[in-house]
Amino acid sequence: MPKNLVEIKTLKKYFHLGKDVTVKSVDDISFTIRSGETFGLVGESGSGKSTLGKTIVGLHQASGGEIIYNGKKVAELSKEEQRVANKEMQIIFQDPHASLNPRMRVGDIIAEGIDAYKLLKGKQRERRIYELLERVGLLPEHAKRYPHEFSGGQRQRIGIARALAVEPKFIVADEPISALDVSIQAQVVNLMEDLAKTEGLTYLFIAHDLGMVKHISDRIGVMYLGKMMELSDSDDMFQNPLHPYTQALLSAIPKTNPKMAKRERIMLQGDPPSPTDPPSGCRFRTRCPLAMEVCAKVEPSFKEVEPNHWTACHLYDA
């Protein structure tokens, strides 16, 4: 069994929106990310998947629970250890237009981490920038240009080069391909797969495109309104989804084969409830076609129902 690089234990992230309004974006979530794997995180808007990713890399302060990185609790690290951990955990953002400073040259954007950690200077720094540009499929002469001179796919490559600059071990990719055209998405996904191999990276890959998540991930977690609903190997998840929400989510993916398009589909009724006022018991019960009485009263616990296949659903209560 591979070693766990990141362990999340009962992690909570609450946002207080006013006196009595609290959004529990991430509510009591526990799971582990193994060294070298790509862990896919899916969920619809408002499920808390991005908040979870940002909390793990420290862009949000956790409201409770703990994050264990490389065997050590992040909250209890010394200042120097914290610096190293921060360097090793990087993030790639969704919008390649908003996440690059339009007034900085691409070379300086990529070297931001190098400069902040005072890793390299002068000629060496320059050489490292060129090397990173080539690594992500751009050219050394691009270092002198500004972000607006690049297309969306190229900008996402710049974002990836910036994350790679400090030699990270763990990268949270927060919807890295959602803003890109279909033909460019495959380019970026292939690049990320190659880098995982050559640089020995571990990814938390957040997306709502289930097809791409299945393609790139070893294991997948499904979130709904701040809760983890199901977690398993990615093939297992697609062949044998246990939670009614996962089943509906998978059946909602439009099939790119017109012959298969005429199939039975689980149609969910209504919209997801407001995260400020989630339903009692199981949060999915208001849209669940199989909801029982117990679902309104008791919150289902997240447990291992089959080997390496976890879910939070009363249907699987022994």
Torsion of CA 172, 73, 165, 135, to 10 degrees: -50
Query: Shortest distance, CB of residue 251 to other proteins, whole angstroms?
Result: 8
Of the candidate residues 30, 135, 187, 316, the single one contacting other proteins (CB under 8 A): 187
**Position 97 contacts other proteins (CB under 8 A):** no
**Position 190 contacts other proteins (CB under 8 A):** yes
Of the candidate residues 132, 158, 171, 212, the single one contacting other proteins (CB under 8 A): 212
By beta-carbon proximity to other proteins, the closer residue of 240 and 280 is: 240
The answer to whether residues 41 and 24 touch, using CB atoms and an 8 Å cutoff, is no
**Position 45 contacts other proteins (CB under 8 A):** yes
Name residue 209's amino acid.
D
Query: Shortest distance, CB of residue 98 to other proteins, whole angstroms?
Result: 16
**Position 307 contacts other proteins (CB under 8 A):** no
**Position 26 contacts other proteins (CB under 8 A):** no
Written as six digits, the tokens of 39 are 């862990």
- Binding range to other proteins, per CB under 8 A, among 72-80, 94-102, 244-252, 306-314: 244-252
Of the candidate residues 182, 197, 264, 277, the single one contacting other proteins (CB under 8 A): 182
The answer to whether residues 237 and 39 touch, using CB atoms and an 8 Å cutoff, is no
3-state secondary structure of 91: strand
**Position 139 contacts other proteins (CB under 8 A):** no
**Position 208 contacts other proteins (CB under 8 A):** yes
Residue-wise burial string across 188-227, b where 16 or more C-beta atoms lie within 10 A, e elsewhere? bbebbeebbeeeebbbbbbbbebebbbebbbbbbbbbbbb
Rounded distance, CA 222 to CA 181, Å?
25
Q: Is the dihedral of CA 113, 75, 229, 309 positive or negative?
A: positive
**Position 295 contacts other proteins (CB under 8 A):** no
Which DSSP letter does residue 227 get? E
Residue-wise burial string across 20-43, b where 16 or more C-beta atoms lie within 10 A, e elsewhere? eeebbbbbbbebbbbebbbbbbbb
By beta-carbon proximity to other proteins, the closer residue of 105 and 215 is: 215
Give the number of residues in contact with other proteins, rule: CB under 8 A. 45
**Position 214 contacts other proteins (CB under 8 A):** yes
Residues engaged in binding other proteins (CB under 8 A): 44-45, 151-154, 181-187, 189-190, 193, 208, 210-212, 214-215, 235, 238-239, 248-261, 265, 267-268, 270-272
